[in-house]
Structures are given as C-alpha cells and as structure tokens.
Amino acid sequence: MVEPIGKIQLGKNGISANFIQSLENQFKKHNDVKVVVLKAAGHDREKVKKYAEEILEKMGKKFTARIIGFTIALKKWRKART
C-alpha cells in the first residue's frame, strides 16, 4: 500500500545526485513528498524557489511543486504535465 505523504530534508549539500536518488526512492512508497529546506541549505525564499525549479527539472514532467514556507510539496502525476 502506498503511504500518502513522505518527507525528506534538503541540507547543506544542496541538490546532489544522492538527494535525487533518495527523492526517487520516496516516490516509490509515497504519492506526495515534502522536501523540508533546512537552515544550512539557506533560509531564503528565492533559494527555496530555485531549489524547487531545479528539483522539477531533474525529476521530469510528471511532477509538480508547491512552496509553503520553507517546505516544497512535490506531487507525482500519472501523465506528464504541460
């Protein structure tokens, strides 16, 4: 059974290959994943927006992101979004 929401933290290493791999593993178990941006990664709204854009660019068109404070809520869709 797929759990509704998973959580992953984005730290000082930023968006690395390991982070993307961990995120993909989270989506195998969950429909939605929340990425919590830690202070070490930079608590700045513009940085959070850039992180969200970079994550979507690396994950593909089946994903959408919504920024709530310093959290990026990612959702996986069945079909690619336009």
Q: What local confidence, expressed as pLDDT, does residue 82 receive? A: 65
Superfamily of domain 3-76, CATH level 4: YhbY-like (3.30.110.60)
Domain boundaries along the sequence of the chain: 3-76
Q: Quick check: 12 and 40 in contact, CB under 8 A?
A: yes
Q: What is the pTM of this model?
A: 0.89
pLDDT tens for the chain, residues 1 to 82: 556 899 999 999 999 999 999 999 999 999 899 999 999 998 889 999 999 999 999 998 999 999 999 999 999 988 877 6
Tell which residue, 49, 46, 59, has the closest CA to residue 19: 59
Q: What local confidence, expressed as pLDDT, does residue 4 receive? A: 80
Q: What local confidence, expressed as pLDDT, does residue 1 receive? A: 52
Integer-rounded Cα radius of gyration of the chain? 12
